[in-house]
Structure 1
Amino acid sequence: MPPFVAVIARLRQLRILLLLLGLGLAQTVTAMEVLRILAWPGYADPDVVVEFERRHNIRVEVSYIDSDDGLWNRIHNNSGKNFDVFAVNTAELQRYIDQGLTVPINLDHVKNHARQLPRFQDYKAIPGLVRNGQIYAVPYTYSDMGLIYNRKKVKKIPQSISEMWDPDYRGRVLAYNASNHNFSIAGLAMGVKNPFALNPGEFKMAVSQLIKLRRNVLTFYTTPEEVVKLYLEHDIVLIFGNYGMQQVQALRAAGADVGYVIPREGALSWLDCWVITPGAKNKTLAESWIDFMLEKTVSDTLTKRHGLANTITPFQDNSKDKIIWLEPLENYAKREALWSRIISGDDFEKF
């Protein structure tokens, strides 16, 4: 065989070999299992995800949400089939269980729950986690939602949630864009007995209050990062801290001189948990993710980077403050529909 013919033959062999290798790699990538996570910002940082992928030789797809309404729509609209695991607070959790959008969790696959602080180990003592003797959620992180204030520009340290409506602060207040919390906040400002169970008369009053709030704020934000940007670009005095200390830490890291306070009416407080959808392709893998999230190094990352309390390591003691744990709401759809009209600019006379 002439030399050039031999070279051509060898090149053909090499091409065939590379093609076979490429097909093998493609099959490996295609066959790699995928875990689909729906979470809040900070709950699944890239390096944390990479470590889980390495341990289990899988791929993780993380999607983010920025409101309870958005979370509900993404899970409910697809019957939970588009994700395997998501994070939700205990009050919101109830409607997911009611609609069959979550499945019980086998704690035998979540060994690290034994590392959780005593107040979080007894799942039966935490309202909403257990239904008919089965565990539907594992606590992960929690926070109160107090008031963040600009130390240099407030007239005095805020004492009441009603100061968000202060006309002297018009255009200098940031509030959170969510139907559930805003009606409850209005309820607190109004002094109702139960801000999670508004009666028809209280609903009407709350609509009026929220229209006034809409006129007093600069805007309604969704993420902690958005708050930092708005604070640096505008003359902000007061912020409703939906993400609590996570926002305080982010603002201070950006150079903001801010304080944080629990108003005298109390602070709405959430406990977020990991849950599994009925559409989970590998339930055991989903439970492994939850177990991984409860490792001390992972939980500590949540606190050190994002200022969020975790259920493994003791955090700040708010026992002297009035903490109001979120409860299921009287009518989620009604709050969402009314809030959409309020934020779009409808006047009270149209309600």
Structure 2
Amino acid sequence: MTIARTAGISTAILATLLSSVAHAEGTLNLLTWEGYADPSYVTQFEQETGCKVNATYVGSNDDFAPKLMAGGGVFDLITPSLDTTKLMIDLDLVEPVDTAKITAWGDLYPTLTSLDAIQKDGQIYGVPYTWGGIVLMYRTDAFTTPPESIADLWNPDLKGKVSIWDDKSSIYLAARKNGDMNIYSLSDAQIAAAQQALVEQKPLVRKYWATAGELVDLYKSGEIVISNTWAGNQASILKRAGIDMTEFVPKEGAEGWVDIWMVVKDTPNLDCAYKYMNMQLSPLGQCAIANINTASVANPVAAKSCMSPEQFVELHQDDPGYLERLMVWQSLGDRYEAYANAWNAVKAQ
């Protein structure tokens, strides 16, 4: 289902779709990213609250709207990134958050709680959770001259050794390579140029990676030597596996992301949903996700209580301005489909 068609569905039809499959009360169904429902803390949460957790994982922000709209399953909590939250709100798929029920709300970075992309008509629709950058990385032993530019992903000498994320943000990447830095407000001509650049790159690409684990496996098997990456995540996993990796911000800059917990509209599991969000913002949840996904977190108070001073600094928890220096994802509004269609057209060729 296209986003354009999705956006045209009436509220009444949405309600019918979402109510067509009964929720299991007391069972929290998550549509989320890898690591956001890890047994290392979910087991404890289930034991302490009596709320059972089931998770369905996504590989791209483009997955949230179609999966919620499909009517084939019902979710209670989702974690879209900042460029997708407005879409969830505008499609009436999520409901406002009662911040008074979020114990740590006052401890979160004000930069995150004041984000426009989680607000509408004076109400808050999302709870910031984790954040980070989308940078480049490479196998250190594969290069005598270190890469420094997005253009290195288009190096013909690396044919079959390149991977980029299977996500519409690849349009952002290619646009910057073309010198178009207004990546969230590209014209049709700029999107077409980014699409063409990605088509030209395609013979160099071994595979478009969809999950963190898939990218790690591509490096472990020696199939690729350079890619984009979620900052700190896959590089750390590979280093622990004995593969020397170098992560860097290209000279064209790096994007920034923020993942947001959002409550699916009319969930009967509201009590469990708030308990889960509160756990995720506690020292248990914040340090667990920092260690599992090597992501920076939204609650510096919790982070400081459970991180070593070195980790606190390494994850930029002492420097919230770091996020402001990144090209933080923005809502694409009615341009969403133009970007998504361009990326899908690249893959289809």
Match of 2:236 among 246, 249, 252: 249
Q: Does 1:47 align with 2:40?
A: yes
**Rounded Cα–Cα distance in structure 1 between residues aligned with 2:24 and 2:134:** 43
**Rounded Cα–Cα distance in structure 2 between residues aligned with 1:320 and 1:94:** 20
**Rounded Cα–Cα distance in structure 2 between residues aligned with 1:213 and 1:221:** 15
Aligned residues of 2:162 and 2:227 also touching (Cα < 8 A) = yes
**Distance 1:321-1:285 versus aligned 2 partners, 3 A rule:** closer
Q: 1:166 matched to which residue of 2?
A: 155
Give the fraction of aligned pairs with identical amino acids, expressed as a percent.
Answer: 24
Aligned residues of 1:82 and 1:279 also touching (Cα < 8 A) = no
Q: 2:327 matched to which residue of 1?
A: 324
Match of 2:28 among 15, 35, 38: 35
Superposed, which structure 2 residues align to 1:50-69 within 5 Å? 50-69=43-62
Note the C-alpha offset of 1:32.
6.6
Note the C-alpha offset of 1:308.
1.2
**Distance 1:57-1:218 versus aligned 2 partners, 3 A rule:** same
Letter in 2 for 1:107: T
- Tell me the secondary structure at the aligned position of residue 227 of structure 2: strand
What TM-score comes out, normalization by structure 2 length? 0.83
Q: 2:308 matched to which residue of 1?
A: none
- Tell me the secondary structure at the aligned position of residue 36 of structure 1: strand
Deviations for 1:110-162, whole angstroms, at most 9, x for unmatched residues? 11223334544xx22x2312211111001100110101111111242222111
- Tell me the secondary structure at the aligned position of residue 78 of structure 2: strand
Letter in 1 for 2:91: Q
- Tell me the secondary structure at the aligned position of residue 41 of structure 1: coil
**Distance 1:39-1:327 versus aligned 2 partners, 3 A rule:** same
Letter in 2 for 1:50: T
Q: 1:140 matched to which residue of 2?
A: 129
Letter in 2 for 1:231: Y
Q: Runs of 4+ in structure 1 displaced over 3 angstroms? A: 117-120, 317-322
Q: 2:252 matched to which residue of 1?
A: 265
Q: Does 1:341 align with 2:328?
A: no
**Rounded Cα–Cα distance in structure 1 between residues aligned with 2:24 and 2:335:** 44
Q: Does 1:111 align with 2:103?
A: yes
Q: 1:303 matched to which residue of 2?
A: 290
Note the C-alpha offset of 1:284.
3.0
**Rounded Cα–Cα distance in structure 2 between residues aligned with 1:105 and 1:208:** 41
Superposed, which structure 2 residues align to 1:188-337 within 5 Å? 188-241=176-229, 243-312=230-299, 313=303, 314=312, 315-316=315-316, 317=319, 319=322, 322-329=325-332, 331-337=335-341
Gaps of 5+ in 1: 1-29, 346-351
Q: How many residues align?
A: 310
**Distance 1:203-1:32 versus aligned 2 partners, 3 A rule:** closer
**Distance 1:133-1:31 versus aligned 2 partners, 3 A rule:** closer
What TM-score comes out, normalization by structure 1 length? 0.83
Q: 2:82 matched to which residue of 1?
A: 90
Letter in 2 for 1:324: M
Note the C-alpha offset of 1:227.
1.3
Q: Does 1:100 align with 2:92?
A: yes
Aligned residues of 2:81 and 2:257 also touching (Cα < 8 A) = yes
- Tell me the secondary structure at the aligned position of residue 89 of structure 1: coil
**Rounded Cα–Cα distance in structure 2 between residues aligned with 1:185 and 1:227:** 17
**Rounded Cα–Cα distance in structure 1 between residues aligned with 2:279 and 2:330:** 28
Aligned residues of 2:133 and 2:256 also touching (Cα < 8 A) = yes
Note the C-alpha offset of 1:31.
8.4
**Rounded Cα–Cα distance in structure 2 between residues aligned with 1:116 and 1:33:** 28
**Rounded Cα–Cα distance in structure 2 between residues aligned with 1:194 and 1:50:** 44
Aligned residues of 2:25 and 2:269 also touching (Cα < 8 A) = no
Letter in 2 for 1:43: Y
Aligned residues of 1:106 and 1:287 also touching (Cα < 8 A) = no
**Rounded Cα–Cα distance in structure 2 between residues aligned with 1:240 and 1:202:** 21
Aligned residues of 2:192 and 2:342 also touching (Cα < 8 A) = no
Aligned residues of 2:96 and 2:125 also touching (Cα < 8 A) = yes
Larger Rg, first or second structure (1 or 2): 1
Aligned residues of 1:38 and 1:83 also touching (Cα < 8 A) = yes
Deviations for 1:11-49, whole angstroms, at most 9, x for unmatched residues? xxxxxxxxxxxxxxxxxxx98721111110011101311
Letter in 2 for 1:325: V
Letter in 2 for 1:323: L
- Tell me the secondary structure at the aligned position of residue 137 of structure 2: strand
Aligned residues of 1:183 and 1:206 also touching (Cα < 8 A) = yes
Aligned residues of 2:117 and 2:331 also touching (Cα < 8 A) = no
Aligned residues of 1:262 and 1:322 also touching (Cα < 8 A) = no
- Tell me the secondary structure at the aligned position of residue 116 of structure 2: coil
